[in-house]
Structure 1
Amino acid sequence: MSSIPSIAGLTNKELFLFECKEPFQEKTLRDETTKNIRSIVFSPKGTYLAYRTDKKAEIIKCADWSVAASINGNIKEMFFSPLDTYFMVWEMFAMTKENPEGKANLHICKSDSGSVVGSFVQKHQTGWEPQWSSDEKLVALQIAGKVLIYEDGKLDRFTHQIQSEKLKSFSISPSPAPAYYFSVFNLGKSGQPSSWKIFKYPEFGQALVSRSSFQADKAAFHWNRRGTNIFTITQTDVDKTGGSYYGKQSLSHGDVKGNSGNMTFSKEGPIHAIAWNPNNWNEWVAVYGHAPAKATLFNAKCEPLFEFGTGAWNSIYYSPDGNYVILAGFGNIAAGQVSVWDARSPRRLGACAAPATTWLQWGPRAECFLTATTYPRLTTGNQYKIWHYTGALLHKRECQDKEQLLYLLWQPGTFPKSELSKPTVRGIEESTPKPTAAYRPPGARNKPSTFTFHEHEAPHKPGESGAAPSKAAIKQKEKREARKARKAEEKAQDPSPPRAAAAAAPRPAFVSTGDPDKDKKIKNINKKLADIEKLKQMKAAGKPLEINQKQKIETEAALLKEIEQLRL
């Protein structure tokens, strides 16, 4: 494997590769003679790259980009197991005259040879994927209200099962042997609540955690890296209260010690995203609330550690090493604002704007990330960009006429750091987000705006105020500054200290001349005289002045004379 990570891209014309280094030259891996390449996927360890067409899936070895195996079939979905050992493919389930009951359409193959080690019937495209433990000792499939569990790669007979009439989804924790945990979501029967539970394998008779809700039609599970803590987002298909376009959400948590509870946030609104730090099992980030959304760093006990403030965000992307985290807004947030933070001691490192982005992914060295506008999500403006982790744009490539960008993926793996790990690099163009005019529908143009401004909250630690100051606070601050100015003036006029300031020359009080233009000029001159007075106090106190400050003091006499002439 090369010491430099590769990026694989797929367009409607070719499958290409290029290394993450200048001059970013693309190399064709498969051209138009390989027709109808539909998608690509890297194995988790970066050993293989696979692509599928309407007739086959082909596995390529990344060491030399040669073919490792080819699997025939009209394959619609594919992925690799955690250690790259197995390759799963799924075809549409079909019943024919020859097979009136249908035939197996999920095949588990060996990645290095393509040989099939297990085949199953999975009728539905949603939830067809087998789930593996992180060490590949266990693999589980959800089939007809059951979770069937197989051990040690022996797929001819399952060893354990979890059964429920309304079993909707499940998840295996990433914890290493011998402690494996399963989370299971059961849809409630008529008049009964839905529930999610945690079980320790293979003791499925007694749940470690059980949480129930009458407002849950589906669930998404989020385990931390060690597999000891889990967050579950439950959601209804429809929010009957009308508070959300999607469905009513709730967030609950549990751990393998049996602790559990519900999570509430400090701002009302939807839960846009949550993500665990991949290198710190005790930290996670949530983006939540009505626009502008709020982002907060929590520990595993749901205690806030840092407030990122508010922004046009709905996505979270941790770098593979957990050192950096991106807060971004894509999809229905057209501006595509990207904010990069140092996750170790939270502070913002940089920002950029990537409008119309449909895909963002960190590089394996956590030095760069890429953004892409892909087809068919967006049919025009297909392109990709590579960014330094501080937000500097390093490379940009736009699709040509009739060219569509379908996929773009970093090769996973462990690679040595490069010069890009430095905090300062030279970008190819300005990448700082620029303010744009707010969109107004045609019917509202040329009419008074009814928009209500929302104050954006600045980053701060819990306990500190992150909100914008109120009018009363601003007024109090002005009073304090005025008192300080009066005290400084009195001190400067006191002759008792050795370096006391000389008595200030009297400045004419403002009296209206009856001419608005003259009054405006007099006020401006008085401001300049006030600045000169401060400089004179600094000089009397022994502070060194710059040349331009000394020259400003010398203009005092001319300014006083100008005021006298204006009052004539």
Structure 2
Amino acid sequence: AGGASGGAGGAGGAAPTVDTSGPRGGPLQFLVRNRTTVKVFDLPTREAPTEAVEYDAIAPEGEQTLGQYSSDGALLALVDADGVTVVDADSGEQRARLERAGVQAVHFSPGNSFLVTWHRMKEASTGSARDQGNLMVWRLADGGSVAVRFFQKALSRADWPTMQWSDDESIAVRCVNNEAHFYDGKAPDAGIATKLRLKGVGKVSLSPGDAPYHVLAFVPPAKGKPSWVKMFRYPELDESAVVASKSFFNAPTVHLEWSPNGSAVVIETRSDLSSATYVGESKPYLMSVDGSVNQAIPLDNGGPVQDVKWSPKGDEFALIAGPVPPSAKIYTAKGEVAHDFGRASRCKACWSPGGRYLVLAGFDNMAGEIDFWDRVKKKKLGSNENSGTVSFGWSPDGRTFMAASLHPRLTVDNEVKLFTYYGAGPIIAVQDPELWQCEMRPAPKGAWRDTAPSPKAAREAYAKAVKDVVSAPVKKMGVYRPRGGASFVSQMMNADKAKVAESNSMGGKAFQISGNRKVVGHAGPVGMAPPEAPKSGAAAAARRGKKKEAKRAAAEAAAAEAAA
């Protein structure tokens, strides 16, 4: 690997020794995409604790509009204007090429046998579903042939993917009008294997984990009737075989959060805006697949539900709910409170892949504060902040946490920051004037073993060493320029033209990387053209002067002709 990298040197002395005591279980990388280019970087290592090195094996040509890893991190789908290229995430070798323009969403099946894509419907609406349709299932083993395709008018990010597989790919399911269609997951082109018929069904969800698999069906309210959910054990899909059910009033939509082992599901009902809160009402319910638990989860301060996330171990979940500041608690799979974190301005929960560490953060419209907790010892290891965070997540080894501010939520100061599992940092900052995507590369289940935190003295020493490394503040990527930047106010804002020119020249070096907020990535990625420099106020004034002079000359010529 090579390319642009962060630096660890500075006036503070030698670089600290990075805390990476967890066992090695595969590559640790993260993906970043700006307006045109996808890049992959290696996470910091023990030898280079404040460096993020560009991974040269993944260097796609042309412009990409999306990058998506498979669930095990083995494959990477790169979307461009003309189609999708699937590559090996380690070697960069092409595995399949899907020729389909305008793809807006992709999804790998759990075993990487298939890739689902969606594009806007442009074809005629006649003919069989097998030779037309904008929801396409591609077979990857033979380089990217179309297995089957369907019609789907709209794309809902909340309900994507609309074609789901069981973890072993033995079952595939898709929801249509008044029915759920089930397929042989390894051969979806063989046709519908069985159906679940429910009038008005709006969503179906297949449980993760091992067989037997369970199906949860949601029917929204209609004609004054309440909405409800019903759970079935596949393949017993008759009304008489319902495992559990529950009805809800004022719940036109639901969010379903399955435990990773498929033993239970949290059902979050969501209503329209109410007089009590501008975000609407939401209530959590817990339902187990064996029917032993089917109840509302009591909330001390009421709703709304801010976030709910199951532990990767599947035995408990974190729930943040209530008016600001909401309360955060951990519940067991039976719905009992296991730990109460109290109330604070936190709206997001994120477990480390091993379930040892838990981040509670105040993203979205909150200030961006981040708390790092050790779930086993029930202790807060540290805190930090990153306002404007849109994308966030853990590295597979559970030792690094990523937080990124992206377009279109923020149109300035786009940046990806990496923190330690106890809140030290940021140890790395990747900057670009226009970042659109950032995500950690996943790893196969069990590739990394959960590890305990380092001694407190070692953590504090590392956090101090990271700060001592800094010898210069971050240089901004460029000054803010409103449209029509040649206005009088704009010229006053940018009076120091020398500094502006220097800042703009930095702005052309896309994907700048800083070691603990020190900019050292002075060279942009290969093949990435710098953005066009904005036109200066002086040049605009000169153009206006020429136009006025031309108008004056024309007027004088017209007057002379009239006098003659």
TM-score, normalised with respect to structure 1: 0.70
Alpha-carbon separation, structure 1, partners of 2:26 and 2:236: 44
Superposition deviation, residue 369 in structure 1: 1.0
Tell me the residue number matched to 2:54. 26
Counterparts of 1:210-221 in structure 2, within 5 Å, are 210-221=245-256
Asked if structure 2 preserves the Cα contact closer than 8 Å seen for 1:14 and 1:31, the reply is no
Matched, 1:255 2:255: no
Superposition deviation, residue 27 in structure 1: 4.1
What RMSD in Å do the two structures reach over aligned CA positions? 2.6
Q: Tell me which of 318, 334, 338 is aligned to 2:370.
A: 338
Asked if structure 1 preserves the Cα contact closer than 8 Å seen for 2:74 and 2:90, the reply is yes
Superposition deviation, residue 31 in structure 1: 6.8
Asked if structure 1 preserves the Cα contact closer than 8 Å seen for 2:282 and 2:303, the reply is no
Matched, 1:82 2:95: no
Asked if structure 2 preserves the Cα contact closer than 8 Å seen for 1:13 and 1:31, the reply is no
Superposition deviation, residue 83 in structure 1: 2.2
Matched, 1:429 2:467: yes
Tell me the residue number matched to 2:270. 235
Tell me the residue number matched to 2:480. none
Asked if structure 2 preserves the Cα contact closer than 8 Å seen for 1:94 and 1:103, the reply is no
Alpha-carbon separation, structure 1, partners of 2:396 and 2:356: 12
Asked if structure 1 preserves the Cα contact closer than 8 Å seen for 2:400 and 2:418, the reply is yes
Q: What is the letter of the counterpart of residue 187 of structure 1?
A: P
Superposition deviation, residue 419 in structure 1: 11
Asked if structure 2 preserves the Cα contact closer than 8 Å seen for 1:40 and 1:51, the reply is yes
Tell me the residue number matched to 1:16. 39
Cα distance per residue 1:394-421 (max 9 Å; x no partner): 5333535xx3111122111155679996
Distance 1:417 1:213, change over 3 A: closer
Distance 1:13 1:109, change over 3 A: closer
Superposition deviation, residue 164 in structure 1: 2.1
Counterparts of 1:490-529 in structure 2, within 5 Å, are none
For the residue of structure 2 that corresponds to 1:90, the secondary structure is: strand
Asked if structure 1 preserves the Cα contact closer than 8 Å seen for 2:390 and 2:409, the reply is yes
Alpha-carbon separation, structure 1, partners of 2:358 and 2:167: 24
Asked if structure 2 preserves the Cα contact closer than 8 Å seen for 1:79 and 1:89, the reply is yes
Q: What is the letter of the counterpart of residue 120 of structure 2?
A: M
Cα distance per residue 1:93-124 (max 9 Å; x no partner): 22449979993112212334222222222222
Tell me the residue number matched to 1:94. 122
Cα distance per residue 1:405-443 (max 9 Å; x no partner): 111221111556799963535243399xxxxxxxxxxxx
For the residue of structure 2 that corresponds to 1:244, the secondary structure is: coil
Alpha-carbon separation, structure 2, partners of 1:419 and 1:250: 35
Cα distance per residue 1:266-317 (max 9 Å; x no partner): 12231101111111x2211111111111111111221111111111100000
Matched, 1:47 2:74: yes
Deviates more, 1:19-28 or 1:58-67: 19-28
Tell me the residue number matched to 1:477. none
Bigger relative contact order, structure 1 or 2 (CA pairs below 8 A, ≥6 apart): 2
Counterparts of 1:384-399 in structure 2, within 5 Å, are 384-399=416-431
Alpha-carbon separation, structure 2, partners of 1:246 and 1:24: 39
Alpha-carbon separation, structure 2, partners of 1:420 and 1:201: 39
Q: What is the letter of the counterpart of residue 306 of structure 1?
A: H
Q: Tell me which of 166, 170, 191 is aligned to 1:157.
A: 191
Alpha-carbon separation, structure 1, partners of 2:83 and 2:309: 35
For the residue of structure 2 that corresponds to 1:59, the secondary structure is: strand
Tell me the residue number matched to 2:65. 38
Distance 1:371 1:420, change over 3 A: farther
Asked if structure 2 preserves the Cα contact closer than 8 Å seen for 1:8 and 1:16, the reply is yes
Distance 1:28 1:218, change over 3 A: same
Asked if structure 1 preserves the Cα contact closer than 8 Å seen for 2:26 and 2:443, the reply is no
Alpha-carbon separation, structure 2, partners of 1:295 and 1:342: 15
Alpha-carbon separation, structure 1, partners of 2:312 and 2:373: 15
Q: What is the letter of the counterpart of residue 225 of structure 1?
A: P
Matched, 1:124 2:154: yes
Unpaired segments ≥5 residues, structure 1: 432-568
Tell me the residue number matched to 1:106. 135
Cα distance per residue 1:437-487 (max 9 Å; x no partner): xxxxxxxxxxxxxxxxxxxxxxxxxxxxxxxxxxxxxxxxxxxxxxxxxxx
Asked if structure 2 preserves the Cα contact closer than 8 Å seen for 1:122 and 1:143, the reply is no
Q: Tell me which of 397, 402, 412 is aligned to 1:365.
A: 397
Tell me the residue number matched to 1:308. 341
Larger radius of gyration: 1
Distance 1:69 1:420, change over 3 A: farther
Counterparts of 1:393-432 in structure 2, within 5 Å, are 393-400=425-432, 403-413=433-443, 422=454, 424-425=458-459, 426-427=462-463, 428-429=466-467
Superposition deviation, residue 186 in structure 1: 0.4
Superposition deviation, residue 49 in structure 1: 0.9
Alpha-carbon separation, structure 2, partners of 1:399 and 1:282: 38
Distance 1:325 1:384, change over 3 A: same
Tell me the residue number matched to 2:379. 347
Matched, 1:7 2:30: yes
Distance 1:115 1:247, change over 3 A: same
Identity of aligned residues (%): 23
Matched, 1:294 2:321: no
Q: What is the letter of the counterpart of residue 175 of structure 1?
A: G
Tell me the residue number matched to 1:548. none
Alpha-carbon separation, structure 1, partners of 2:209 and 2:421: 30
For the residue of structure 2 that corresponds to 1:340, the secondary structure is: strand
Superposition deviation, residue 220 in structure 1: 1.0
Superposition deviation, residue 390 in structure 1: 0.4
Alpha-carbon separation, structure 2, partners of 1:87 and 1:132: 11
Distance 1:416 1:244, change over 3 A: closer
Q: What is the letter of the counterpart of residue 360 of structure 1?
A: F
For the residue of structure 1 that corresponds to 2:467, the secondary structure is: coil
Q: What is the letter of the counterpart of residue 390 of structure 1?
A: Y
Q: What is the letter of the counterpart of residue 81 of structure 2?
A: D
